[in-house]
Structures are given as C-alpha cells and as structure tokens.
Chain A
C-alpha cells in the first residue's frame, strides 16, 4: 500500500487570499449545503452560471432504481447561446481561442464575436442541408477551430453531435454512425499530426461504404487537398458556407434542460462501445462551475487543456465549460514531441499560459526525455497545473510539481469519467494541501461512498480499499446510453441498490483524502483512454487463425497500462511474428491505433475453471511478471497450464513511440 505522502502547500497562502473558494471551512460548508439542500444549492448555481429562456419547474427529480435523472426539468436554454450570444455585449473582442497548428508556423486567434459569426454561418449551412433539432451528427475532425465551430453549430440547431476521436478506425466510425442513426458527417480532407498528414477523409470514405443511410458529408479543407468529392452527398465546408442565400444569423433553438446535447461513445466492460448521452441544463451548469472553481479561472487568464476534443475532457474543459464562462483557451493541433520534446513548454511561454491541464501519460513521456526541454522556456506564467485520465504515480507527480510547477503550482488531480460529465473528486486550490497521487475531495453535489467488496457494506476504516459508488445524482451525470436505457440501468445502477456504480476502486485515508486505485471491472486504461477487454478480444478473434483470445492490462511506465494479449491459435496455424503483426493491424483496423496490443503471447490454453470462466487475475499476474504470488489455482480445470504460460511470457516492449 502506498504511504500517504507528504502534503504540498506552498501555494495555499496566496490562493487563500483570492481564490474563488478560499478555505477548507468554505468548501465544507458549501459541500454540506449541496448535499443537504441540493434544490436550493443547485438553483443558485444554475442562475449564476447559465442563461435560461425560462426557468425550471423543478430542480431535481430522480429514481436510481429506474435510472431516471432530471435536473431543472421544464427549464429551457441553448448551449450555443450560452457560449456565444450572451457574451457579445461585454466580451465580443475577447479571445475565445488561440489556435496553434501542428506546424509551428501556423496559428490563429478567434474572438467571441468571430466565433459567433462562424458558428452562425455554419449553422445556417447545416440547416440548409436539412439538419434540425434532434438529428444526430457525427463529427470526425482533428484539433482545428472548425471542430468547436461544428459542435456549437449543431447545438445552435438543437442537433445532437457525436464527436469521434480522429484516432479511431473506419470501422469504429461506421459503428457509431449506425448506432446513433446519423445522417450527416462533418469531417476534413486530412489532418496534421507530428509533421505527418493523416488521411482522415479516406477513413471516412471507408466508413461511408458501410453507411448508405448517410445523406450529407461536409468536408473542411485543412490540407489543401484537390480531392474529388462525391456530388451526390459530399460538399466542401467552404462551398457550403459560401452560399449567398444563407442568413448570417440563426436563432438558437430553445432546448429543454433534458434534451440531449451530445453523445460520446466510450468503452465498457462488455460488448462494443456505448453512446453516453449528456443533456443540456445540468451539464452546462456543472461544466461551467467546475471549470471556474477547480482551475480557479479568471477572465484575464489563458487556459490550456491539452486533451483532444474527441474525448470528454475536451468537450467539457476546452469547449462547453470555458466558453460558457467566457474564458480564453488555447487549442493545439499537434503533439507533445513535434518538432521536439519542448513543444508544450514553448507554447506555455508563447501564450503565457496561466493554467495547464494534461494527462499523466504525457507527463511521464516528457519526463523521460529529461529536464532540459522544460528549462529552455520561461514557463513562469503557470499558476496551476492539472491532471486527468488516470491516477498519477507519485514520481511523475513530483517531476511535474518540481520542473513544471516550480515547487509552487498546485496540481489539481481530477478524477472523473465520460459518464460523469465533469470533475467528481478533485482538489480545489484554495482549500487544502495536496497529496501526490490523491484526487483530494468530492466536488459540490458529489456524495461518494466506498463499499467493501467482501461485505458489500460501507468501508469503515481509513485506507480500506473498496469499490467507489455515488449516493446521489449530480447535474452533469449521463442520462442514458443511446438506444439502450436498459443497459445504462444495468451497468450503473444494478450493482448496489440505490447507488451509482463508477467502476473504479478507491480508498479514503485518515485525513479524508480520496485515492483511486484503478478500474475494478474489465476495462483497461491506456494513456488515459478506456478500452474494454471484451472489445479487444472480439477484434482478435475475427482473425481466421485465432481460436480464442484473452486481454488484460499490464503496468506500463508511460501509458499507465499496456495491452497484453494471450492468443490461442487454431490447429495448424503457425505462431509467427508475421501473425502477431497481422493481429495488431486487425485491432488497429477494428478499433484504432490506441488499441494495438503491446504484447501478444501465444498460448496453448488459458487458465479457466471447469465452466470455461477465464481467471483473469492469473493472466494479469502472469502478464505483469508477478509469478511468485499467483494465489489460489485450485479453481482451475487444469492448473498445469499456468507453468507453461509463465514460461512463454512475451514481455513487453516499452519503447515510446507514436500511438
């Protein structure tokens, strides 16, 4: 068990002078109120953070058994209005986004007025193509300004966007198009990443071949391609908005608080990725509030969240949160190591970034390269650092704190998920000392409970590890899985009656600080991205030579977890490196490059019980090399296979490459 490390509080005195939340007492009082009087508390926040066409009939109605949650029911609002229109009187000239290209010679700046103009223009173009309230629109774009423009244009019309991360394969795109019944795709000719051109349109073409029901494809010309578009359903973005008939203003569609705002697909422990649905009112209030309070943001500051907008982190903390609040953000198209490993620090200096939010996997990858890259640049503008995606190991935390934070910046280690919409357990910089590896305390409205898996009762002792649940709803929680509410109910509300299952393990220490111990189900966390082991196994088993596959997570020094696959081949198939490569390519094609296994071990058999259940914990230990502590193997139908699995251990290549 980890020692509950030293506390770091160098930042505290100054933060407690001017932070939005200035003390532990203030935090505790507000947190208590948010739990004891959620209606009063959240009504106040809803009025503070969001503009409504009309207010709600009720603040909160919910039933965890039925998985029904409603916040601000009857209230009406528009997300695009909140991010844009309402800022024009006071903030029209404020920078909404600085954009920095993958290529260091490219950058742009867009003010709230300019963003408003572009969003309206594109919304008009979408509307002329028949897009209307309730329609689902797939967006498959790299980190360019047109990505938030497309999202906000959809929101303006009341259409439901589903952004697909540019790193996913054609099959993944096609699956999502079909699952949500999207008839429109917004994409690009190509993208730039680390100096290379990514053929995103050809991935879309491959997906489209499986999606005849798609009626419109709008393509933004990022790479200057001269490609021929299919005139039956494809059109260039610049041509679509050039139509002189289009109005320059589109009235934002008033949406009910519980109308869907977006769908974001995420991996679960079984089956294919599911579409997590977020709605309007609660999500926007929570996004705006956490953005302001967790990062302690101010209007004169520049915020940089490095996550791709294709993930929930980018949705909430690069788009909806900061724009609703009227803040200024940096959007970066590129990667941390191009042209070199100091690119991030160069940008921090260039834009004088005040608050910086990234993933532990990035910190570990950059820490590996040495400190000279950080030391080359003046990063003294940084006042606060953040991490997201997975728990951060103390070594990486300390490197970040010392070299980037200059032994002063508080690090907000935020725990939350695609399903939670916004931060759940997190430090607040003005409240208390921080501990490396701990996500500190619950945000307002968040009521966690840790259940001991042996007794299924609440953990009573400090540091008692268990499964993390939530006792009550918070405004930004997901409302359903698209088209499968029963699965939503079953996955999140069926483990413990009356509680929301997070899928993560946790412990609370003697000071009340929370520590996340990792997923308890069959979901692995690779570079902060979730992948279901079942999803990976299903992909491999598609290969004609594969009889069975079992995938487990394995500790990885940069990615956090790597992907280790045990594969049983059919009789007659040869265990070659070529076949390994074929399997990697297959997984890349089915899911995307992030899913490529780090190690493939040929196995003659898997450790199974008589019924055929795979003893995953044994595989995890074998993969990680913990072969002396395998524990009880008497449940195995054939305990002798364990020895041969250990002998054949593939080992893992820790070379840090591109994903």
Chain B
C-alpha cells in the first residue's frame, strides 16, 4: 500500500508540529514507550491488555497485523489510529488512541482521516468501531469524520462509515 509511507508534518493551533505516517515494526518500541508512560495506562475497553505478554503481543500486532498510523512529537509517539482489516468481509475495525496530554488538539481527527484514506486505498467497503457510551468526545470526533451511530445497546456503541 502506497499511502502514507512518506510522513507528513502537521501543526496544531498552538504551534506544535507533529509528524504523522504509517508505523512499521521498527516503530514498535516507541509505541510501547507511549503505553508504558504515565499517560498510557488509560485502559479503554480492555486495551492495552493488562498482563505483560498479552500487551507485548498486542503492540506487535498493531504494526505487523494491523495498518497503523502514528503521530510523533519530537520523535515520540503520542497517538495512533489502527485498522484491523478483514479481507473477506472487505471491512476493518477502527481504533484510535491519543495520549492524554495531546488530546483536544485535532490529532485524533487527523489520524482518523488518514486512516480512512488508507481504507479507501485498500478498497474496503466499510470501517466500523466501538466506543464507550459516555465517551462523547470521541464520538463527536468520529461523527465529524463521517461515522454514523449504528448499534445503541448497552455500554458500547458501534459506529459505521461506508467508505
């Protein structure tokens, strides 16, 4: 896949410049560093998995099994968007994580849009995600990017975007 091999720079309203682009196996340690850091323990829907081996395997899968786009600030990963593709169904589950101090700057939106570009390039029909019912902030980011609320039951909502 050609998209995003070359990293792009993006500056937020405060003048902080982030680098965004595909992450590969060599970027794995930096993603781990983010999750090991003080703002990485915010577990969202059971992720990252508690337990060192499960966590390690999950982070590896982000760069090897999934399509992951990271945002770097001064060489450190501060967030990522990942697509977990199901080639048979021609869809992908979408996941977004931005470390606490870097939220509300537009990084989440940026990463989401880039992930959707990847989805188009992969000729996927649909991208979907689940988000906690009360996570209004995340839901509004996703809505802004074109996701629509689908399943309303219980604590987790499903949102879908037809590519």
Q: A521-B134, A534-B50 are in contact. Are A616 and B153 (CB under 8 A)?
A: no
Q: A456-B139, A494-B103 are in contact. Are A547 and B51 (CB under 8 A)?
A: yes
Which residue of the partner chain A has the closest CB to B46?
A614
| B35-49 interface with A by 8 A CB criterion | 39, 41-47, 49
A631 within 8 A of B: yes
Chain A nearest CB, measured from B64 CB (Å):
14
Chain B nearest CB, measured from A345 CB (Å):
40
B14 within 8 A of A: no
B122 within 8 A of A: no
Chain A nearest CB, measured from B23 CB (Å):
15
Contact of B42 among A271, A496, A546 (CB under 8 A): A271
> Which of the 9-residue segments A304-312, A352-360, A403-411, A605-613 touches chain B?
A605-613
B11 within 8 A of A: no
Chain A nearest CB, measured from B99 CB (Å):
10
Q: How many contacts between A and B, using CB within 8 angstroms?
A: 113
- Which among B104, B134, B149 has the highest number of chain A CB atoms within 10 Å? B134
Q: Are A520 and B50 in contact (CB under 8 A)?
A: no
Contacts of A456 in B (CB 8 A): 136, 139-140
Chain A nearest CB, measured from B82 CB (Å):
7
Q: Are B134 and A501 in contact (CB under 8 A)?
A: yes
Q: Are A495 and B100 in contact (CB under 8 A)?
A: no
Q: Are A615 and B43 in contact (CB under 8 A)?
A: no
Q: Are A620 and B66 in contact (CB under 8 A)?
A: no
Q: Are B136 and A451 in contact (CB under 8 A)?
A: yes
A618 to B97, CA, bound (A): 23
Contacts of A520 in B (CB 8 A): 133-134, 155
Contacts of A616 in B (CB 8 A): 45-46, 155-156
A538 to B157, CA, bound (A): 25
Q: A467-B134, A487-B100, A503-B134 are in contact. Are A611 and B156 (CB under 8 A)?
A: no
Chain B nearest CB, measured from A384 CB (Å):
34
Per-residue B-contact encoding for A591-613, CB less than 8 Å = 1, 0 else: 00000000000000010111111
Contacts of B50 in A (CB 8 A): 534, 537-538, 541, 548-549
Chain A nearest CB, measured from B97 CB (Å):
10
Q: Are A453 and B134 in contact (CB under 8 A)?
A: yes
Which residue of the partner chain B has the closest CB to A631?
B153
A2 within 8 A of B: no
B24 within 8 A of A: no
Q: Are A490 and B100 in contact (CB under 8 A)?
A: yes
Q: Are B43 and A635 in contact (CB under 8 A)?
A: no
A550 within 8 A of B: yes
Chain B nearest CB, measured from A522 CB (Å):
8
Contacts of A496 in B (CB 8 A): 136-137
A109 within 8 A of B: no
Contact of A271 among B41, B130, B149 (CB under 8 A): B41
Q: Are A494 and B137 in contact (CB under 8 A)?
A: yes
A402 within 8 A of B: no
Chain A nearest CB, measured from B153 CB (Å):
4
| A445-495 interface with B by 8 A CB criterion | 451, 453-454, 456, 467, 486-487, 490, 494-495
Which residue of the partner chain B has the closest CB to A616?
B155
Contacts of B133 in A (CB 8 A): 453, 467, 520
B124 within 8 A of A: no
Contacts of B41 in A (CB 8 A): 270-271
Chain B nearest CB, measured from A357 CB (Å):
29
A575 within 8 A of B: no
Contacts of B95 in A (CB 8 A): 611, 613
Q: Are A617 and B84 in contact (CB under 8 A)?
A: no
Contacts of A632 in B (CB 8 A): 151, 153, 158
A487 to B104, CA, bound (A): 14
Q: Are A495 and B137 in contact (CB under 8 A)?
A: yes
| B61-113 interface with A by 8 A CB criterion | 61, 66, 82, 84, 86, 93, 95, 100-101, 103-104
A547 to B47, CA, bound (A): 14
Q: Name the 4 nearest CB pairs between A and B, nearest first.
A: A617-B154, A614-B46, A613-B45, A610-B84
Residues of chain B touching chain A, judged by Cβ–Cβ distance below 8 Å, are: 39, 41-47, 49-51, 53-54, 58, 61, 66, 82, 84, 86, 93, 95, 100-101, 103-104, 128, 130, 132-137, 139-140, 149, 151-158
User: Can you pick out 12 interface pairs between chain A and chain B where the beta carbons lie within 8 Å of each other?
Assistant: A453-B133, A534-B43, A610-B93, A611-B66, A611-B95, A612-B49, A616-B45, A616-B155, A616-B156, A620-B154, A635-B128, A635-B151
Residues of chain A touching chain B, judged by Cβ–Cβ distance below 8 Å, are: 270-271, 451, 453-454, 456, 467, 486-487, 490, 494-496, 501, 503, 520-521, 534, 537-538, 541, 546-550, 606, 608-617, 620-621, 631-632, 635
Given known contacts A451-B136, A503-B134, A613-B47, what 4 new A-B pairs fall within 8 Å (CB)?
A454-B152, A487-B100, A495-B137, A611-B66
